[in-house]
A and B are shown apart, each in its own frame.
Chain A
Amino acid sequence: MHLLELQELSFSYPNRPGVLDHITLAVPQAPFLSILGPNGAGKSTLLKILAGILRPTYGTVALEGVRIQPHRDVSTLLAYVPQSLYLPMETRVIDFVLLGRPHATRLTGRVRAYDVEKAFWALERVGCREFWKENLTELSGGEQQKVLIAKALAQETTVLLIDEPVTHLDLRNQMEVLTLLRGLAEEEGRKIVAVMHDVNQAREFTDYALFLRGGKVGAAGPSREVICRETVESVFGIGVEERLGLFVRS
C-alpha cells in the first residue's frame, strides 16, 4: 500500500485554471513526506485536497489506501493543521485541543473523562501542558503551532497533514517543531505530510520529498537523493550551490 496515490489529479479555481495539472504519482510508505515548491505551485491546494477540504476538478486521490472524497468524514484517518488560524473569540487551549475529540461533549454538555485525558496527553506530548488554561491567541507563535499539532494528535489519526508548520517561527521554534514532528513519525508511527519551504530543513528532517512546479510534479523521491542542487535549481529557477551540506544562493 502506498502512502499517497494521485491519479490524473487536477484542480482549478474559478479564475485560476491548472493549479494542479493531471498529476499521476504514487508515493511509497514514508514516515515524513514534505511537499515543496515555489509559491503558487499548488502545495497547499494539494494538502487541502488530501484533507477533503477541496474537491478535485478531475482525478482521484488516495491516502493510506483510502480514497479521499469531499464531505466524507476522514477525521478518523487524518488530521489537518492549517497554516494559520483565525480565532474570533477567546479560546482556552484545552478547549481547542478537545476539538480533536469530536465526540468529547455529551448531550448533557459534560466532557468525557477519557477525552479530557487524551487532550491533556496531547498537550503533554507537545510540551504545552502547563498552558492548558491560557487563551490560545495570547500564546507565542511557536506555542500556538504546538497547540495546533496537539489538537491533531488528540484526534489519534495515523496521518497528520500540516501546512507550513514553521513558516512564521524563529529558528529555535522551527527546530523544536520539526524535531517534534520527526519524533511523532519515528516514535509513534505517525505519517506526517507537511508543506514546507526550506529545502535544507526538508532534507534534514523528512524522508521523502515531492516537488511541485506550475501544478505538475517537478521531482519526487527520497529526500536525501532528490533534494539536490539540480532539483532546487530547476524547480525554483535560481542558481544554488551546496556549502557545508546546506544550499545557499550562488
Chain B
Amino acid sequence: MIQEFYRIERRKELGALLLAILCAGGAILYLSVGVVPVGLGESLRILLGYKEGIDPGHILAIEGIRLPRLIAALLVGAGLALSGAAYQSLFQNRLADPFVTGVSAGAVLGTTLAILLGFSSGFLGLGGITLFSFLGAMGTSLVVFFLLGVLKRASSATILLIGISLNFFLSAVVSLLLFLHRNRIESIVLWTMGSVASATREKVFFALPVFLLGAAGIFASSRSLDYLVLGEDIARAHGIRVPRVRFRIILFASLLTSVCVSLSGVVGFVGLVTPNMARILTGTRHRSVLVYAALLGALFFLGADLLAKTLLSPSELPVGVVTSLLGVPVFAGLVWKSSRRIY
C-alpha cells in the first residue's frame, strides 16, 4: 500500500512537470502566432537572446508586443487560479472564485471612473485604466478588511456575505454611472469582457512584484489552508490563529486578484474552474493543489488567449468569452471522469 501511495505521488509530480512543459511549449507557440508569423525556432532564439540574423521586425513584434502579453497572460492565469484556490478552501466552498470579496466590482468601478473622468494617461506609463482598476480592487479589499476589523468574531460565511453585498452595491453604482453616461457604455463593457491585448512592459513591471508577493503569501499559507478547509474548529485545534491567518490569506488573494484584474479586466471561469481541476487531479494537500492550480491557470489562460487572438484574426475576441466557452466542456469532462475515480 505504501508503495502504491508513493507511485501515485510520483504520478502527481510527473503531472506537474508535464504541465510546466506544456506551459513552456505553449509560451513559444504563443510568441510565434500573430499578425506577423514568426517561426517557433526563431521565437525561441529571440527569447534566449540569440538575435543574430533575425528580422528586426520579428524581434520588435516579440519583445515589444508579444512577450509582455505572454507574461501578462501567464500572470493572470496563475494569479486568478491561486486566488480562487485560496478562497475556495478558506470559505469551504468549491464555488468561491477570486471575485468573491467584491474585488471585481471595485475594479470595474475604478475603470468606469477612469474612463468617465478621462484619466487615460495614468502614471509611470501604466495607463489610467490599469491604475484605477487596481486602486478600485484594492479599495474594495480595504473595505472588507475594515469590516473584518470591526466584526472581530466574523465567521467565513459572514465575510462571504460582506463580499456578495459589496459586489451588488458597487455593481449598482457602476450601473448608475453607465445609465448617466450611456455614450461611454461600449468601452466600459468591452473592458469587463477581459483582454490582455494592451499589456505593456510597464504594466508587466508593475504587476510582477505584486504577483510574486501575493503568490508567495498564498504558498506560505498552504499548511493553514489544509486545516481551514476542514473548518475553523479543526484549524484552531491545530494551533492556527484563524482570524489572523484568514486576514493574511484574504490580503494576499486580494493583491493577486487586483493585479490580475488591472492587467486583463474581469476574466471569469479561470479562477473558479482551474482550482477545482487541480483538486480533481492532485487531491487535497495545498502544496500540490496550489502548484497544479497555478500551472493549469496559466496554461488555460494562455490557450484561451491564443484562441482569442487567432479565431477571428486579424480582429480579436475578448479572452473572457473564450475562457468560458472553452472551459465549460473541459471542466464537464473532468467532473464526469472524477465521478468514477478519486485521483
Contact = CB atoms under 8 A, between A and B. Distances in A.
Interface of A: 14, 48, 51-53, 70-75, 79-80, 82, 85-92, 94-96, 98-99, 102, 105, 107, 109-111, 113, 116-117, 120, 129, 132-135
B279 A80 contact: no
14 contacts: A51-B236, A52-B236, A52-B239, A73-B239, A75-B238, A79-B237, A80-B234, A85-B231, A92-B343, A95-B284, A96-B284, A107-B287, A120-B2, A132-B5
Interface residues of B, number: 36
B233 interface: yes
Contact of A82 (B94, B223, B234, B283): B234
B239 A134 contact: no
Contacts of B135: none
B198 interface: no
Contacts of A96: 284
Nearest to A84: B231
B252 to A, nearest CB: 18
Interface in B1-44: 1-2, 4-6, 9, 13
Interface string B44-70: 000000000000000000000000000
A85 B342 CA distance: 19
A94 to B, nearest CB: 6
A88 B92 contact: yes
Given A52-B236, A92-B343, A95-B285, 15 more contacts: A51-B233, A53-B236, A71-B241, A75-B239, A80-B237, A82-B233, A89-B94, A90-B338, A91-B284, A92-B342, A109-B13, A109-B287, A109-B288, A110-B9, A117-B2
Contacts of A105: 223, 285, 287
Given A53-B237, A120-B2, A92 B92 contact: no
Interface of B is mostly: helix
A95 B338 CA distance: 17
A138 to B, nearest CB: 9
A105 B227 CA distance: 13
A99 B237 contact: no
Given A95-B283, A99-B227, A105-B285, A133 B342 contact: yes
A102 B238 contact: yes
Contact of A111 (B9, B230, B241, B342): B9
A90 B342 CA distance: 8
B226 interface: yes
Contacts of A98: 285
B2 A109 contact: no
Contacts of A80: 233-234, 237
Given A51-B237, A73-B238, A85 B230 contact: yes
B234 A92 contact: no
Contacts of A53: 233, 236-237
A129 B4 CA distance: 13
Nearest to A104: B285
A113 B9 CA distance: 12
B283 A116 contact: no
Contacts of B121: none
Contacts of A52: 236-237, 239
B291 interface: yes
B93 A88 contact: yes
Contacts of B86: none
A14 B13 CA distance: 48
Nearest to B244: A71
